[in-house]
């Protein structure tokens, strides 16, 4: 390269960087992301582009909220058009990525997927994710990556391949009209209640998410805590506790809804069962699930929630970027916005989204803490202190598989 | 002159070509991938050797035959009952009477409604806290949801069969109706003059006429119900469940190594369906030509 | 007695057909409706309001579905008409096998073919386009279209065509002035099936067009698996309305044109 060309290039670079630094500065990259040198580069690349966000489309409130509280701001602030693609099940998007991978499609159709747990593991293990990126985006500074519930997604190390969105904690729901004001909060009491009131309790069948986690709670109770299940899968340990679990579940089976002849295929089926007094108890991964349903008229207002004395499992859900996303930069900007103070305030507002956050409020400004502190909690939602005190971690994925298979063999198939 | 002959000879293949091309290339090609996966060809997770292992696993699973029997039972009952009701209703609707066109239209309403929407509707109706149950409470027959008979999420598959009936009876019925209305009364009148009673008129005059139509539509209905997973998933019990549901759940499992098994079950289903239907058609032809 | 049977059957049919439909209509207008109430305790237009917002994407997907269904109909005609005629009016070796081949999409479970179809479409560059989506819808449509049209052609006399040709008409004139009007009633029915099948496709559209092309089933099906019956019912009604309209338009043919349906015995 001769000297003249070199100087021209140098000047060009300087001019370009001078212009770049004039653009919207939302912070700096904290680490590396594939394909981009700086956050400014990322922002420059996304102006006027579209992000295809594949997420479950079965809730009109979530749909409208995403469009209004994420779609509108990213358009205004970054020029990104958020194309929310509704799907009936996350696996629809996973299958699409798998198919595209099998056909060696380098530029696919999906930019961002809402997922967690096993769906994340499927894509990560098959090396079909873009990244690592999530620890490097500017707002990742708010995320406590040391927290095992964020560093591991059902035991799969996140390692920067997905970014947190919402936080969930398992709660039990009950109809005060049928159960009274106090619900049985230990497994022993619950068992007694079921025997005295046959036909009013059930739980979703595996492989439903919620049914699966209920079984995990029984394991934790039998073992006296989550510790045995947090590490590598150990068949001997499993065999030590499993018989007691099956015994408990088989013992209550005859007095379950439908005499235990069948279990609801999904948790959503149970929403209407409890609303219509076919059952008295329900369970959900969202402490606000009952409140939202009451607000939407799906539940009568006699529904309340409780957690087990032995604690309940909490986890997080995330967004991830497929390896062949046509607009990975845009996806990162959207994910980054989801961690912003502005959005988190809206997300945790019970009158808006009513979601729990994976981020502790103290990392944000004083203003933020004051705002969210003032939110009024609906009666059917438990206080954060109660929830936090009861929070338990998820076991690693291998345990989940064993528990689910064990249940199918020992309880479902009798 | 030669090229005219050539065009003549090519004419029929050319006419068939576009449809066959679409089906063989697009559908057949697609099927190849699925079949390949059933034999273990699944490069994404590193499987490239062909094997019968998945078929063996599927066929030796004790649940397989239980589910197969359930699948067949539901498909057979649904198809048979649909034919019976369809013929019955068509026999009534074929005459011209006041409002017959309107009632025929109402009869056809289920045809454009998707199965899932129909299933939702049936569930709202027959679930233990559904519309029928609430009417029963109004009438003082029952008090709580548990008192009402179980028709959904049940071992007998009542809600499933009702859904299939609701959808398929009009489908078969319309075909039968068209034949009956096109035939006119003269054959029956002749038979009547010859001393045939009502049943004989039906059996020997009308039945042979409608049988071809019933045959084709019932093949379609049986094939559909046999392979359908959405309705049993939505309305049935968790165990035992039908083969298509088993295949679907294996397919949806995040553990990708279960996919070949899902494909194996589906291929077995397809082979069985074709076998059953070819046999059925042969038998029906024999019966009609007797 | 006969009249009694007739009216009893009629009433049974009306009740049976409308029974699953009416609660859904009521649901779309209800806010709170619990056991054992026969009618909702509170009504609301919330679900309908949601349907007409931008977020629901109902408007956009409705138009997409319509466009694609019409494209599928057009392609069915192009592809299915010659095949039906060949089968109906000609004998040739391998005919029985070809007839079964044309039925294959109905018989083989979708699971086997869907993923593979996606692969084929990717390799042929047919994804993410309206043509591609219409083409993938064509696959399940062809069997029904051909089934109906073969029966139409079977009952169709070629006499008029022959006369026209003797009188000097060229092939296009014969088709447009003689054939087309003759098969039109039956073809309306065949197109109805094609339209309905395309209108209701979910998985195929998601795989082949998903992302860029959003159709009505993609908006509806997530709600059916959800808990809000009110929303699910409202969108279901929007989904079903055009299909019912198509039915109204063609029902006059279905009832009358026996040659169409009677020959369903082609299989």
Q: Looking at the structure, do residues A138 and A209 belong to the same domain, yes or no?
A: no
Write down the pLDDT at residue C92: 84
Domain identity same for A52 and A112: yes
CA–CA gap between residue A153 and residue A170 (Å, rounded): 16
Same domain, A292 and A190: yes
Percent with pLDDT over 90 in chain A: 48
Chain A CB contacts of B150 below 8 Å: 258
- Of the given ranges (A32-41, A114-123, B209-218), which has the lowest mean pLDDT? B209-218
pLDDT at C259 over 60: no
Residue A24 has what pLDDT? Answer: 42
Q: Which residues of B touch C105 (CB under 8 A)?
A: 23, 27
Kindly state whether residue B10 falls inside one of the protein's structural domains: no
Same domain for A287 and A155: no
Same domain as A341, residue A304? no
For chain B, give the DSSP string.
-HHHHHHHHHHHHHHHHHHHHIIIIIIIHHHHHHHHHHTT-BGGGTB-S--SHHHHHHHH-HHHHHHHHHHHHHHHHHHHHHHHHHHHHHHHHTS--TTHHHHHHHHHTTTTS-HHHHHHHHHHHHSTTSHHHHHHHHTTS-SSGGGSPP-SS-TT-HHHHHHHHHHHHHHHHHHHHHHHHHH-SHHHHHHHHTT--HHHHIIIIIHHHHHHHHHHHHHHHHHHHHH--HHHHHHS-SSS--HHHHHHHHHH-S-GGGHHHHHHHHHHHHHHHHHHHHHHHHHHHHHHH-
Residue C193 contacts B where some CB pair is shorter than 8 Å: no
CB C232 within 8 A of CB C30: no
Closest CA to B82 of B157, B152, B208, B166: B166
Round the average pLDDT of chain A to a whole number and report it: 88
Which residue among B63, B128, B154 sits closest to A278, beta carbon to beta carbon? B128
Q: How far is CA B27 from CA A253, B104, B154, B221, C169, in A?
A: 46, 36, 36, 21, 39
- Tell me the average pLDDT across C173-192: 84
Mean pLDDT in residue range A322-341:
94
Percent of chain A with pLDDT over 70: 93
Query: Quick one: average pLDDT of C115-142?
Result: 90
Local structure of residue C178 (DSSP, 8 states): I
Distance between CA atoms of A329 and A111, rounded to whole angstroms?
Answer: 9
> Per the CB < 8 Å rule, is C108 touching B101?
no
Tokens of B219: 């093949």
Chain A's closest residue to B248, CA to CA, is A91
Asked whether residue A398 is assigned to any structural domain, the reply reads yes
- A276 inside domain: yes
Q: Which of A126, A258, A264, A324 to mutate to test the interface with B (most CBs of B within 10 A)?
A: A258
Residue A294 lies in a domain: yes
The alpha carbon dihedral of A402, A403, A404, A409 has a sign of positive
Half-sphere exposure of C205 (CA within 13 A, CB side): 28
- If DSSP codes are grouped into helix, strand and coil, which group holds residue C215? coil
Two structure tokens written together for A396: 């690693």
Q: Give CA–CA dist C113/C119, Å, rounded.
A: 10
Instruction: Report whether C103 contacts C266 (CB < 8 A).
Output: no
For the segment B161-165, the average pLDDT, to the nearest whole number, is: 95
pLDDT score for C267:
43
- Whether B81 contacts B87, CB under 8 Å: no
Q: Is B134 on the interface with A (CB under 8 A)?
A: no
Q: Is residue B250 situated within a structural domain?
A: yes
Number of separate domains in chain B = 1
Q: Is beta strand A391-392 parallel, antiparallel or unpaired with respect to C42-43?
A: unpaired
**DSSP per-residue codes, C126-164:** -TTSHHHHHHHHHHHHHHHHHHHHHHHHHT--SHHHHHH
pLDDT in tens, B96-121: 778 888 888 899 899 888 888 898 88
pLDDT digits 0-9 by tens, A243-275: 999 999 999 999 999 888 889 888 888 998 999
| CB-CB under 8 Å, B30 with C117 | yes
Predicted local confidence at residue A12, as pLDDT: 54
Q: What is the pLDDT of residues C43-100, one digit of tens each?
A: 888 888 888 888 888 889 999 999 999 999 999 999 999 999 888 888 888 888 888 8
Question: Which of C31, C210, C212 to mutate: most A Cβ within 10 Å?
Answer: C210
| Cβ–Cβ gap C136/B266 under 8 Å | no
**pLDDT value at residue A133:** 93
Q: In Å, how far are A70, C96, C156 from A58, measured between CA atoms?
A: 18, 45, 49
- Residue A132: the pLDDT is 93
C107 chain-B contacts, CB cut-off 8 A? 223, 227, 270, 273-274, 277
Give which of C28, C116, C144 to mutate to test B binding, by max B Cβ within 10 Å: C116
Q: Which CATH superfamily is domain C50-266 in?
A: MetI-like (1.10.3720.10)
CB environment A148-172: b (16+ within 10 A), e (fewer): ebbebbbbbebbbbbbbbbbbbbbb
Subunit contact A88:C222, Cβ cutoff 8 A? yes
- Structural domain for A185, as ranges: 171-315+389-412
Compute the nearest-CA separation of B130 from chain A (Å).
9
Q: Residues B241-286: pLDDT tens digits?
A: 899 998 988 888 878 888 899 999 999 998 998 898 888 888 877 7
- Reduce the secondary structure of chain A to three states and give it as a string: CCHHHHHHHHHHHHHHHHHHHCCCCCCCCCCCECCECCHHHHHHHHCCCEEEEEEECCCHHHHHHHHHHHHHHHHHHHCCEEEEEEECCHHHHHHHHHHHHHCCCCCCCCCEEEECHHHHHHHHHCCCECCCCCCCCHHHHHCCCCCHHHHEECCEECCCCEEEEEEEECEEEEEHHHHCCCCCCCHHHHHHHHHHCCCCCCCCCCCCHHHHHHHHHHHHHHHCCCHHHCCCCCHHHHHHHHHHHHHHHHHHHCCCHHHHCCCCCCHHHHHHHHHCCCCCEEEECCCCHHHHHHHCCCCCCCEEEECCCCCEEEEEEEEECECCCCCHHHHHHHHHHHCCHHHHHHHCCCCCCCCECCCCHHHCCHHHHHHHHCCCCCCCCCCHHHHHHHEECCCCHHHHHHHHHHHHHHHHCC
Examine residue B64 and state whether it is found in any structural domain, yes or no: yes
**What's the DSSP call for residue C21?**
T
Question: Do A104 and A124 have their domain in common?
Answer: yes
Q: Rounded to the nearest 10 degrees, how much is the dihedral formed by the CA atoms of A11, A14, A20, A21? A: -150
Q: Which of A53-62, A246-255, B141-150 has the highest mean pLDDT?
A: A246-255
Q: Which of A89-98, A292-301, A330-339, C125-134 has the highest mean predicted lDDT (pLDDT)?
A: A330-339
Q: What is the pLDDT of residues A277-302, one digit of tens each?
A: 999 999 998 888 898 888 888 899 99
Say whether pLDDT at B236 is over 70. Answer: yes
CB pairs under 8 A between A and B: 60
Q: Provide the domain limits for residue B86.
A: 32-289
Residues A150 and A268 in one domain: no
Does any domain span residue B18? no
CATH number (domain holding residue B99): 1.10.3720.10
Domain identity same for A64 and A183: no
- Greater confidence (B56 vs C251) lies with B56
* For residue C261, pLDDT beyond 60: no
Residue the block writes with tokens 């349903």: A293
Residue A67 resides in a domain = yes
Collect all residues of chain C within an 8 Å Cβ-Cβ radius of residue B12.
86, 90, 92
Answer yes or no: is pLDDT of C5 > 70. yes
Token code pair at residue A172: 């039990």
Going by pLDDT thresholds of 50, 70 and 90, the confidence category of residue A18 is very low
Nearest CA in chain C to B277: C107
Whether B227 and C109 lie within 8 Å, measured CB to CB: yes
Cβ–Cβ below 8 Å for B44 and A126: yes
Q: Is the pLDDT of residue A1 over 70?
A: no
CATH classification at residue A224? 3.40.190.10
pLDDT tens digits, residue range A366-388? 888 888 888 888 888 888 888 88
């Amino acid at each position: 390269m001769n000297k003249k060309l070199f100087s021209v290039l140098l000047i060009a670079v300087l001019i370009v960087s001078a212009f770049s630094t004039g653009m919207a500065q939302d912070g700096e990259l904290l680490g590396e992301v594939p394909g981009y040198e700086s956050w400014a580069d990322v922002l420059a690349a996304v102006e006027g582009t579209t992000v295809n966000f594949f997420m479950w489309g079965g809730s009109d409130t979530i749909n409208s909220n995403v469009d209004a509280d994420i779609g509108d701001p990213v358009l205004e602030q970054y020029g990104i058009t958020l194309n929310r693609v509704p799907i009936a099940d996350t696996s629809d998007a996973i299958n699409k990525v798998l198919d595209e991978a099998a056909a060696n499609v380098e530029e696919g159709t999906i930019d961002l997927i809402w997922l967690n747990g096993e769906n994340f593991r499927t894509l990560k293990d098959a090396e079909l994710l873009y990244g690592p990126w999530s620890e490097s985006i500017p707002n990742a500074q708010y995320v406590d990556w040391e927290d095992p519930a964020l560093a591991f997604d059902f035991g799969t190390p996140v390692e920067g391949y997905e970014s947190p969105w919402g936080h969930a904690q398992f709660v039990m729901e009950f109809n005060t009209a049928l159960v009274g004001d106090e619900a049985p909060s230990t497994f022993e009491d619950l068992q007694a209640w079921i025997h005295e009131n046959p036909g009013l309790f059930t739980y979703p069948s595996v492989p439903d998410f919620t049914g699966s986690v209920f079984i995990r709670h029984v394991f934790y109770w039998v073992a006296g805590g989550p510790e045995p299940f947090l590490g590598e899968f150990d068949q001997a340990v499993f065999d030590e506790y499993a018989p007691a679990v099956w015994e408990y579940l088989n013992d209550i089976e005859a007095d379950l809804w439908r005499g235990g002849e069948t279990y609801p295929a999904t948790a959503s089926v149970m929403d209407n069962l409890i609303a219509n007094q076919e059952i008295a108890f329900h369970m959900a991964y969202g402490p606000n699930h009952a409140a939202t349903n009451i607000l939407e008229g799906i539940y009568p207002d006699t529904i309340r929630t409780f957690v087990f004395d032995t604690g309940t499992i909490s986890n997080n859900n995330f967004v991830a970027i497929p390896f062949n996303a046509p607009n990975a930069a845009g996806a990162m900007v959207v994910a980054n916005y989801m961690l912003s103070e502005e959005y988190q305030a809206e997300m945790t507002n019970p009158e808006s989204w009513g979601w729990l956050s994976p981020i502790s409020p103290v990392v944000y400004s004083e203003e933020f803490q004051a705002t969210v502190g003032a939110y009024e909690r609906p009666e059917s939602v438990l206080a954060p202190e109660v929830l936090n005190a009861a929070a338990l971690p998820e076991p690693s994925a291998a345990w989940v598989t064993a528990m689910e298979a064990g249940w199918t063999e020992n309880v479902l198939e009798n | 002159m030669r090229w005219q002959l050539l065009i003549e000879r090519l004419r029929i293949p050319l006419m068939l070509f576009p449809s066959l091309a679409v089906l063989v290339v697009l559908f057949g090609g697609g099927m190849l991938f699925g079949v390949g996966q059933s034999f273990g060809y699944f490069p994404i997770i590193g499987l490239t050797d062909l094997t019968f292992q998945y078929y063996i696993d599927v066929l030796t699973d004790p649940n397989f035959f239980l589910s197969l029997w359930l699948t067949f039972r539901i498909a057979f009952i649904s198809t048979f009952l649909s034919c019976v009701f369809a013929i019955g209703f068509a026999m009534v609707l074929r005459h011209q009477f006041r409002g017959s066109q309107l009632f025929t239209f109402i009869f056809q309403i289920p045809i454009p409604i998707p199965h899932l929407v129909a299933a939702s509707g049936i569930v709202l109706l027959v679930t233990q806290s559904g519309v029928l149950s609430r009417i029963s409470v109004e009438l003082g027959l029952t008090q709580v949801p548990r008192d009402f008979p179980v028709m959904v999420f049940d071992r007998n598959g009542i809600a499933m069969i009702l859904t299939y009936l609701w959808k398929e009876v009009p489908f078969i019925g319309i075909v039968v109706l068209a034949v009956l209305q096109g035939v006119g009364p003269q054959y029956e009148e002749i038979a009547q003059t010859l001393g045939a009673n009502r049943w004989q008129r039906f059996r020997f005059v009308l039945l042979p006429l409608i049988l071809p139509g019933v045959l084709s539509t019932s093949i379609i209905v049986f094939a559909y119900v046999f392979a359908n997973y959405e309705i049993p998933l939505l309305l049935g019990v968790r165990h035992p469940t039908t083969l298509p549901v088993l295949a679907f759940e294996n397919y949806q499992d995040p553990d990708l190594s279960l996919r070949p098994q899902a494909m194996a079950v589906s291929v077995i289903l397809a082979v069985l369906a074709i076998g059953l239907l070819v046999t059925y058609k042969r038998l029906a032809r024999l019966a009609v030509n007797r | 007695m006969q009249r009694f049977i007739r009216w009893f059957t009629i009433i049974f049919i009306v009740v049976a057909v409308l029974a699953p439909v009416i609660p859904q209509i009521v649901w779309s207008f209800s806010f709170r409706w619990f056991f054992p109430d026969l009618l909702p305790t509170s009504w609301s237009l919330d679900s309908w309001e949601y349907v007409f917002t931008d977020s629901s994407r109902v408007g956009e997907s409705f138009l997409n579905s319509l466009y694609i269904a019409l494209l599928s109909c057009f392609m069915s005609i192009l592809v299915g008409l010659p095949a039906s005629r060949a089968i109906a009016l000609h004998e040739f070796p391998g005919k029985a096998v070809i007839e079964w081949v044309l039925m294959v999409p109905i018989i083989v479970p979708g699971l086997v073919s869907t993923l593979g179809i996606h692969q084929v479409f990717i390799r042929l560059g047919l994804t993410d386009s309206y043509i591609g989506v219409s083409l993938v819808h064509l696959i399940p449509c062809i069997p029904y279209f051909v089934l109906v049209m073969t029966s139409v052609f079977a009952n169709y006399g070629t006499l008029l065509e022959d006369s026209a040709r003797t009188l000097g008409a060229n092939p296009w004139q014969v088709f447009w002035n003689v054939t087309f009007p003759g098969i039109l009633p039956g073809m309306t029915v065949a197109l109805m099936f094609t339209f309905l099948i395309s209108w209701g496709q979910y998985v195929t559209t998601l795989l082949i067009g998903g992302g860029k092309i959003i159709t009505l089933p993609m908006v509806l099906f997530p709600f059916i698996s959800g808990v809000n019956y009110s929303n699910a019912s409202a969108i279901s009604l929007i989904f079903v309305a055009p299909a019912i309209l198509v039915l109204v338009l063609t029902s006059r043919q279905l009832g009358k044109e026996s040659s169409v349906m009677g020959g369903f015995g082609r299989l």
